Structure 1
Amino acid sequence: MRKTWLPFAVGVLLILAGSLLAHAIQTTGGVTVEDVRFPGDKGTTLSALVYTPPGASATKPAPAVLVSHGYINTREMQSAFAIELARRGFVVLAIDQSGHGYSTGIVGSNDFGGPAALRYLKSLPQVDRGNIGLEGHSLGGGPVVGAAASDPDGYRSAVLEGSTPAIGAVFGSQAKAELRNLALVFGGYDEFAPLMWQVERGSDVAKSKALQALFGTTAPVVEGRVYGDLKAGTARVLYNPAITHPWEHFSVAGVAPAVDWFQQTLDGEANPLPPTEQIWIWKEVGTLIAFAGLVVLLLGTFQLLLAAPWFSGLVQPAAPAAETRDRRWWMAFVLTASIPAITYLPLMFVGQAFLPIPGFPQWVTNQLLVWALANAVITLLLGLVLKSAKPAFATDWLKSAAIAVATVAVGYASLALVDALWHVDYRFWVLGLKPLDGLHLTYALAYLPLWTAFFLVALRALHANLGRKGEGKGQYLTAALAMCLGFIVLLSLQYASLFATGVLAIDQPLNTIIGIQFVPLLAIVGVIAVFTYRRTNSYVPGALICALFITWYVVSGTATHWSPDFQLPIPGRG
């Protein structure tokens, strides 16, 4: 009995330890964190986290900064900036821009929510309205420009990380502003250099004609030199650290220039500190520990439920058909690992044709499903060609569905609890898992059958082709590698090219960055698949758990591009 409870108990302990560490870091020195909703424009609602330093009040207002994440991210992605600014004495409003997280509307609507967010920030009694800064990463430049255009005198300085003042036009925003006292942080290995500044490499940004025009010069911009006049609001400065686009909000080198610029351009922070003195990474360590705890909790919950009388009928030792790792086994392993990665970038490109529509409003989720379902078809066709011994799977659809829902429900409840108590979720860098609000739950229910179809095919093939009689716990590593090794190779090739030449081997920066998440997620899928199969001799419970988990993950962290109130803005179409 003790062994049965152990994974569940370990999962709970990891979640508690990680969440408490994350909470302690983001509230260091007496900072408070509040989850808020406030009115956006045209009937929308915006979501944000408010970080308030100790001592900031209506009688002693503090300088403040509005921060915004990039495309298909959420407010938590800016926690490095929020933590470092708040502990120095700045009030921080970290928003979910329109169509992201818990903010309604679609991507780009109402100037990305920037104007309404600035109005809300200025309405807070603890904010010094004469000392406000704006910061955005990547598409987060959209809310910054939108806010600045709506209230040109309502802020004192701005920081764009891996962005450009023209970024809003990508999703239809017409807002334009001569940003006051602007610091531009652009990585020397930024994958989006051609899109953002029309140069081939991030390290060439100083030579960008558009950047030179912004800085009022015809010569290459000198990094670290302040152009213009701070008092007049015309100052400009460039930082070009040797980092990638997703490192701009996840590195000391990316965060420090923003902290330094706001300490220079805003007055009244209570606790000035050196810009490189940063603690935010420990919050990420905490939420990573909690994420690992969630995976262990899911496994432990499944194991506990199998001991219940009604679910005990599912218990059956795995009975794979293969005896050894012969040539056919290795061929199956190579195909399992390689085909999803080989097809990923082409199918994500093709998947753009699956436009957002009612019921399926998330464009990136639609693209991912084109990739997933196409791979399911490929898997079925290969199964007809590559004849192999057929394992005798046990299948009880009703109990498998019930145990899958119950397992994921326990994991979901753990996240809802830590989010309510401590305003943290499960994440690390580009990996992030949030609770679903009611609107996103409806999206998830629509997408779930499609993800379920994919995982039923994928995990049946995984066990049929790679299961081996008498295999021990090494089966976990085998399955995890089979699921994610292809993406490790793909990303290694992409970033080896980027670091060697300054450009990606295949020019798909957004999908390459999205693909980083596939490594941990598919490894988790492999572990869940093996754990459930070894105890039930069935691929069905694991497939259903993974479908629920991945649907939840993707829908909660991906942007909305369609809603009844907005039409999709597509560049180049009138």
Structure 2
Amino acid sequence: MKSQTKRTAKIWLCISIALMFISMIGASVVQTNFGDVTIKQLSIETDAGFMMDADLYIPSNATTETPAPGIVTSHGNYNNKEMQDANFVELARRGFVVLAIDQPNHGNSEWIASNDNTEVAIGIYQGAIILSRLPYVDADKIGVTGHSMGGNSCNYAIQAETENGTHYIASVLLNCADAFYTDDDGNFFNIYGDRDVGILSVVYDEFLHYVYGEGERPEKFAPYFMNTDKAQSFLNFGADPSNPGFETREADTVYYADIEGGEDVMRVIYRLNIIHPWAHFSARATEDVIDYFTESLGAPNPIDSSNQIWQWKEAFNFVGLVGMAMFLMSFAVLLLFTPTFEELRAGEVVAPMPAPADAKGKLWFWGSLAVGAIFATVIYLPVVSIGHRTTVFLQPQSFGIALWSLCCGLFTILSMFIYYKTYGKAHGLDLADRGVKMPVKKLLKSVLLAVIVASVTYTWVFVADYFFKTDFRLWTLAVKTFEADKIGVALWPYLWMFLVFYIASSVSVNAFNYNEIGGKKGYGNVIINALFVAFPAIVLPAMQYIYYFATDEMLFWGASDRLHMWTLWLFPITVILITATLINRVVYKVSKNPYIAGIALGIVITLMTCTNTRIFNF
């Protein structure tokens, strides 16, 4: 057992490292367009007085002799600059200089006082100023685009230009964001002047393009947007739809007019049959971004918009994500064969317990899994909403998820306690034999091993960033680097709340529910456990979107409690919970110790959570 397990772990460790290097190299090659685009990681003191983190993409055609159009890209709320990878890869590939920014209080940009989006969504204007000062950027051809809150940042940039008397921005594309349609008195107007402007509007947007009546809940959601006066006024350059002779206009058609001295000024609304976050990950959305800026600013290196390579970057990034998970498992197993930690290793590979022989035992197995899954599902939205309304901590959104995790972890512990007292103990469940009870010295060594595993595993993300300017991610599931301030944020209270859940989950999955139900080799058992652990993350989004697609209305929606936002956050959590269950099982089979993987995962996932979101600096 010893030699074979160690040999297998070495092989998987080598494979995991190879996968991460394939990811780093492959993603780097794609985002540099095979060496044609230079990437600079910047930390810039802005004119507004805060440090802004940004990545600058400079194609070889952009020189002081032949300056190229420049474009600022921005993420939305609770995200970071890397979420714009489809846009910066494809735009830089077509010869645009691209500045991908972290908004204040996001990513590695500086924290500023903030209570709402208006205060933090100021990065676009600062980005446009920065681009205008670069000698290889055509200062007359600067465009801006942002997703969601990033789109709002584009609007605030136009406001800032009006207030400051500047005109850096020539073109605006609002991605999953509303335009400014009316003035303070509610009259339709054209705030954008002679700038080209487009809206990338998704049919099933969860946050924008509503039609409100007298109540708090919208009368109509985004599927009806094109029929609204706001959309029609926008396409008519701010004209009032009640005016005689007003022209009704269509989506996906570019309209031109001569406005305030500007000739052939553009307005267009693109409509995509997708949801809000999918605009990050859509070939069609990326195609519209390319077409818009090619038409508006002119691409120095025209390439058909359907010719896209960013998907390869995402694929390589995902390979790195897989490699990182494999590294955590295999590295933990190999450390169990070192002299320092060998006492934590089981004498032989841990086999599943026999399946419960009686009906009561089977009922306990299935019943406890089902009750735990239902409990986690029922409490998710209200608990996350309560957490988000808490202003004591810097990341209310992380606190909401952590509070839910804590509640689920405590419920799991209570469930295991009741099971042990009423059935398990009388039917041979030995907590010491299953690794739940152990000497303090052994427990402390388990903690040390877990911290080492988590630290070394996360170090690979810094290697990717430092040497290749990449990270590991897939859509909204991301692992990125962080600065020292995030460690302090993560330590209290989020780490301890996540640890309760991931340790309790590991103990439950392995010490209590690892049996021959699902097959004598245990493969089916781990799938059963994984699906029940991830049940709320699978079911709640399914309920939301099946209902939305069928009725054009959202099932979970709230003006203040943001239920539609919390539902979205479950997409990456689904993958995390399933993967965590698998990692827990692999490490447990070698160690008969449910704490090692539980602690390591708690640390890594806390860092992921606190790095990929927003700071509220109340």
TM-score by length of 2: 0.84
Name 1:124's counterpart in structure 2. Answer: 134
**d(CA) in 2 for partners of 1:217, 1:549:** 53
The amino acid of 1:214's aligned partner reads: F
From the superposition, tell whether residues 464 and 503 of structure 1 become closer, same or farther in structure 2 (CA, over 3 Å): farther
**d(CA) in 1 for partners of 2:370, 2:248:** 48
| Count of residue pairs brought into register by the alignment | 552
**d(CA) in 2 for partners of 1:199, 1:228:** 32
**d(CA) in 1 for partners of 2:202, 2:240:** 21
TM-score by length of 1: 0.90
Name 2:187's counterpart in structure 1. Answer: none
**Deviation (angstroms), 1:242:** 0.7
1:291 to 321, 332, 339: 321
Helix, strand or coil at the partner of 1:203: helix
**d(CA) in 2 for partners of 1:82, 1:276:** 15
Name 1:243's counterpart in structure 2. Answer: 274
Q: Bigger CA drift: 122-131 or 467-476?
A: 467-476
Please list the CA deviations of residues 261-317 of structure 1 after superposition, one character each: whole Å capped at 9, or x if unmatched. 1111113x3211122221111110110011000000111110110110110000125
Q: Bigger CA drift: 274-283 or 369-378?
A: 369-378
Name 1:181's counterpart in structure 2. Answer: 196
Residue 210, structure 1, aligned to residue 224, structure 2 = no
Structure-to-structure mapping, 1:332-347, within 5 angstroms: 332-347=368-383
Gaps of 5+ in 1: 168-175, 568-574
Structure-to-structure mapping, 1:78-477, within 5 angstroms: 78-106=84-112, 108=117, 109=119, 111-151=121-161, 152-165=166-179, 177-178=191-192, 180-193=195-208, 200-215=220-235, 216-218=239-241, 221-229=249-257, 231-232=262-263, 235-267=266-298, 269-316=299-346, 318=350, 323-324=355-356, 326-355=362-391, 357=392, 360-386=393-419, 387-389=422-424, 390-392=429-431, 393-394=434-435, 395=438, 396-446=442-492, 447-468=494-515, 471-477=521-527
**d(CA) in 1 for partners of 2:457, 2:15:** 13
From the superposition, tell whether residues 196 and 457 of structure 1 become closer, same or farther in structure 2 (CA, over 3 Å): farther
Equivalent residues of 2:324, 2:457 under 8 A apart: yes
Residue 53, structure 1, aligned to residue 55, structure 2 = no
What value does the CA root-mean-square deviation take over the aligned residues?
2.4
Equivalent residues of 1:5, 1:304 under 8 A apart: yes
**Deviation (angstroms), 1:523:** 0.8
Helix, strand or coil at the partner of 2:446: helix
Name 2:582's counterpart in structure 1. Answer: 527
Equivalent residues of 2:210, 2:220 under 8 A apart: no
The amino acid of 1:509's aligned partner reads: H
Please list the CA deviations of residues 88-136 of structure 1 after superposition, one character each: whole Å capped at 9, or x if unmatched. 1100001111111011124643643222222112222221111110101
Helix, strand or coil at the partner of 1:402: helix
**Deviation (angstroms), 1:366:** 1.1
Equivalent residues of 1:38, 1:45 under 8 A apart: yes
Percentage of identical aligned residues: 27
Helix, strand or coil at the partner of 2:62: coil
**d(CA) in 2 for partners of 1:435, 1:157:** 32
Name 1:570's counterpart in structure 2. Answer: none
From the superposition, tell whether residues 183 and 458 of structure 1 become closer, same or farther in structure 2 (CA, over 3 Å): same
Name 2:17's counterpart in structure 1. Answer: 12
Name 1:173's counterpart in structure 2. Answer: none
Please list the CA deviations of residues 468-487 of structure 1 after superposition, one character each: whole Å capped at 9, or x if unmatched. 16643334323322221332
**Deviation (angstroms), 1:352:** 2.2
**Deviation (angstroms), 1:534:** 1.5
From the superposition, tell whether residues 204 and 221 of structure 1 become closer, same or farther in structure 2 (CA, over 3 Å): farther
Name 1:22's counterpart in structure 2. Answer: 27
**Deviation (angstroms), 1:539:** 1.7
Please list the CA deviations of residues 517-570 of structure 1 after superposition, one character each: whole Å capped at 9, or x if unmatched. 1111111111121122222222211210111011011011011011xxxx4xxx
Please list the CA deviations of residues 190-217 of structure 1 after superposition, one character each: whole Å capped at 9, or x if unmatched. 1224559866232211122333333335
Equivalent residues of 2:124, 2:144 under 8 A apart: no
Select the structure of larger CA radius of gyration: 2
The amino acid of 1:505's aligned partner reads: L
Q: Bigger CA drift: 88-97 or 41-50?
A: 41-50
**Deviation (angstroms), 1:15:** 0.8
From the superposition, tell whether residues 522 and 487 of structure 1 become closer, same or farther in structure 2 (CA, over 3 Å): same
**Deviation (angstroms), 1:75:** 0.4
**d(CA) in 1 for partners of 2:105, 2:330:** 35
**d(CA) in 2 for partners of 1:34, 1:506:** 42
**d(CA) in 2 for partners of 1:224, 1:42:** 36
Equivalent residues of 1:320, 1:464 under 8 A apart: no
From the superposition, tell whether residues 91 and 222 of structure 1 become closer, same or farther in structure 2 (CA, over 3 Å): same
**d(CA) in 2 for partners of 1:211, 1:194:** 9
**Deviation (angstroms), 1:351:** 1.8
Equivalent residues of 2:376, 2:408 under 8 A apart: yes
From the superposition, tell whether residues 122 and 196 of structure 1 become closer, same or farther in structure 2 (CA, over 3 Å): farther
**Deviation (angstroms), 1:337:** 3.2
Q: Bigger CA drift: 255-264 or 332-341?
A: 332-341
Equivalent residues of 1:205, 1:211 under 8 A apart: yes
Gaps of 5+ in 2: 1-5, 182-189, 213-217, 242-246, 558-562
